[in-house]
Every structure is written in C-alpha cells, then in structure tokens.
Amino acid sequence: MTPEDLGYTKNLEKFRADNHLENFEIGRVIAEHKERYIVKTTTGEFETEITGNLRFTARGREDFPAVGDWVALTTVDSEFAIIHKILPRSSIIKRQAVGQFGEIQIIATNIDYAFIVQAVDRDFNINRLERYLILCYSSRVSPIIVLSKTDLINDLQTIEITDRIKARVKNVPVIAISNETQNGYEAIRKCIEKGKTYCLLGSSGVGKSTLLNNLSGCMLMKTDTISKSTNKGRHITSHRELIILENGGILIDNPGMREVGIADTTNGLEITFDAIVRLSHHCKFTDCTHTSEMGCSVLEALNKGEIDRASYENYLKMEREKAHFESTVAERRKKDKSFGKMIKNYMKNRNEELY
Ligand SMILES: Nc1nc2c(ncn2[C@@H]2O[C@H](COP(=O)(O)OP(=O)(O)OP(=O)(O)O)[C@@H](O)[C@H]2O)c(=O)[nH]1
Ligand SMILES: [Mg+2]
Ligand SMILES: [Zn+2]
C-alpha cells in the first residue's frame, strides 16, 4: 500500500516538506471513538491520541482530528501512536449539531465527492436534498444524488421522481439504485475514481451502509432492518468509518442525520439556488426580500413560471435560517467578548490590588 492509495496528494507532501515533518509518519484518520482516533498508515493501523499541546491549544472542534484527516504521528509501538499535527484540510463537511447553540460537528474532511442518499419511499424530499446540496457546496465537495430502494416502486415511478429532481436541481448527477437488485450499481461504480474520497450522507435507514458493503464485497458495516411500523430509523451506524474499495476509491460511511442544520454557508446557497440568486441581482432594490417588492425579478420570474415555486419557498426558508445562524454566532461573539472584558477587568483590578 502507498500513501496515495489512502488519498495522499502532492499538496500534502509539499506541506509536509515545507513544515519539516519528514521525521513523522503520515497517516489518515479512519475512525474516531471519543478522543481516540484510529489512524491508517502504509504500515498498519494505530490507535492514537493527540499530544497535550494540540489539546491545550485547541480553540474548538475544528482543531481536533476528524475522520478523513491526514495527520503527522509518531508510533509508540505496533499498535499505539501519538498525533502531533493535523495537515491542512482540502475540504471539511460540517453542520450545526442539533440542540447545541452554535456548536459545530465535523462530518468528515478531505472529501472529494458526497453521495447524498435518499430512499424513494417515505424518506424522499427535495427540500431536504437542497439542504444537503448547500452543505456540499459550502464545503467545496461535489454532490452526487443517489436514489435508493427503487425496488420498492416501479420503473415509471422511478423516472417520475428522477425527473422531478432534475427539474429543480441542475448540474448534479442523479443515480437511481436498488441495494436489493443492485440495479444502477454500474453507474455508481463509474463515479468512483481511484484515490478520491467519497462520503455517504443521508437519513438513517436509507441504505448507506448496505451500499458500502455491497460495493466493497464484504460486510464491513453493520446494517439492520429498521422498525417498519414506525419507520423512525433507529441508527445502525454509530460512528464514521473510512474504507478503501478494491478499485481504489475511498469511502466514508456516516450515521444517518436527523437534521441538516445550515451553518457556514459560504456560496452554498448561491450555487444551490443559482437561478434565483442570479435573478435577484436584477431586483430594483438591493435589499429586496423577494416577497412583495415592486420591481423584484425573482417574483416576476416566479409569476411567469420560470422558476419552481417549491424551490423558491425553500430558498426563502434557507435564507432565513442562514440569517438566524449568523445572528446567533454574532451574539455569541458579543457575549464571549463581554465575558473576556469582564475577566480582563477582574485581572486588572486584582493585579492593581496585588501591586
Ligand atoms: N428494499 C430495499 N431495502 C433496502 C435497500 N437498501 C437498504 N435496505 C434496507 O434498509 C435497512 C437500512 O439499511 P442500512 O444500510 O443500515 O441504512 P443506513 O443508511 O446505513 O442507516 P444508518 O446507519 O442508521 O444511517 C436495512 O434493513 C436494509 O436491508 C434497498 O435498496 N431496497
Ligand atoms: Mg449505516
Ligand atoms: Zn427581489
């Protein structure tokens, strides 16, 4: 095995040389278990921990390793190693964790493509697809839409669903598959290139792990029948894991996501809703909300039927969510700042008392 088989690139090698990391081993994080990371190198797999220095200088989640990361490490013995540095990430998929105020969760790093998996049964929802697209585009990851469980419907219905997606979502491949019959697998295999990293995104129970197991030819990931009566989607996959396929593609499985919160959306909205955003540049008012204004190009196109109404409504919703996220971040910064000031004043007063 070579580092390239794990997805190593020239850019990473350049960074390694520029930063004098030749004396360290280089490896890729393939799994994470509560601050312990499994790292794969060309010589084996190691259980690792980060150095105390990395831990104490970390400012947030992003300063800790995540699945997909390239790291510089020193081996202690044949099973254990210490991570000294995380190499720069070419991409990072993150989302706002559920319930936690502004807390960011890293889904995976150094990803080239994301398979967004939706099942054609009750899970299917184009608004949610657009959420995943925003997530991908803001992470600089190319999306590929995978419709699973097509064995549950007939061919005409599959075509109808595919067409509905294509009417709203432009420039993204849509592949319909069944993990039961393996229909559509050829198209999936064609997408997978050697040395490129793919991650599987989607709700619980849509068949991500089944797809991964079938592609790899062995049962690497646990899958299970979800409670059919409630269809609640008990999570089967509990953590992220990276595997290498025989054809050289690198796949990262993920636990299903219940909510896809919109966090840092740099360009994500713009690319996902490209047609609407382009139109909005022609609105009469620069602060146009595209809801009731005179001279609104978006509303004009909507009334002429040139843009999809459902997509337009989802766009407005995503814009509101983005604005809400940004204001909570701003508020938190303000709070952090005033807290910082209070500490500073306290220290100053204390020092004045001391001297
Ligand atoms: N009929 C049908 N069932 C499928 C298909 N793909 C997966 N399943 C079934 O759906 C259930 C869930 O599959 P998993 O592969 O575990 O789903 P997952 O997306 O990995 O779920 P989480 O790990 O919870 O996120 C299993 O019982 C599978 O057998 C499919 O294409 N057709
Ligand atoms: Mg799974
Ligand atoms: Zn407008």
Residue 227's pLDDT band (cuts 50, 70, 90): very low
pLDDT over 80 at 294, yes or no: yes
- Residue 353 pLDDT more than 70? no
Pair 280, 297: CB distance under 8 Å: yes
Ligand 1 pocket mutation, candidates 117, 179, 213, 222, criterion most atoms within 8 A of CB: 179
Reply yes or no on whether the pLDDT at 333 is more than 80: no
Rounded to the nearest 5°, which phi and psi values hold at 14?
Answer: -65, -45
Residue 211: name the closest of 234, 239, 240, 189 by CA. 189
Q: Is the pLDDT of residue 229 over 50?
A: no
* Top-ranked range on mean pLDDT: pick from 20-24, 51-55, 174-178, 242-246: 174-178
Cβ(225) to ligand 1 under 6 A?
yes
Q: Is 311 helix (H, G, I), strand (E, B) or coil?
A: helix
Which band of pLDDT confidence, cut at 50, 70 and 90, is reported for residue 235?
low
- When mean pLDDT is compared across 70-79, 163-172, 329-338, the lowest value belongs to 329-338
In whole angstroms, give the CA distance from residue 294 to residue 341.
Answer: 46
Q: What's the distance, Cα to Cα, between the start and end of the chain in Å?
A: 63
Q: How far apart are CA 94 and CA 107, in angstroms?
A: 5
d(CA 6, CA 8): 6
Please state, for a pLDDT cut of 70, what percent of the chain lies above it: 86
Ligand 1 contact via 213 beta carbon (within 6 Å): no
Residue found under tokens 């105020």: 101
**Whole-number average pLDDT of the chain:** 88
**For ligand 1, is residue 255 a contact (CB within 6 Å)?**
yes
Q: Which residues surround ligand 2, an ion (CB under 5 A)?
A: 208-209, 236-237
3 state SS of 113:
strand
Mean pLDDT of 288-306: 95
| Residue 164, both tokens | 């509905």
157: tokens are 């219905």
Could you report the per-residue pLDDT of 113-138, keeping only the tens digit for each? Answer: 999 999 998 889 999 999 999 999 99
Neighbouring CB atoms inside 10 A of 58's CB total 12
**Protein residue whose Cα sits closest to atom 32 of ligand 1:** 149
Nearest CA to ligand 1 atom 1: 149
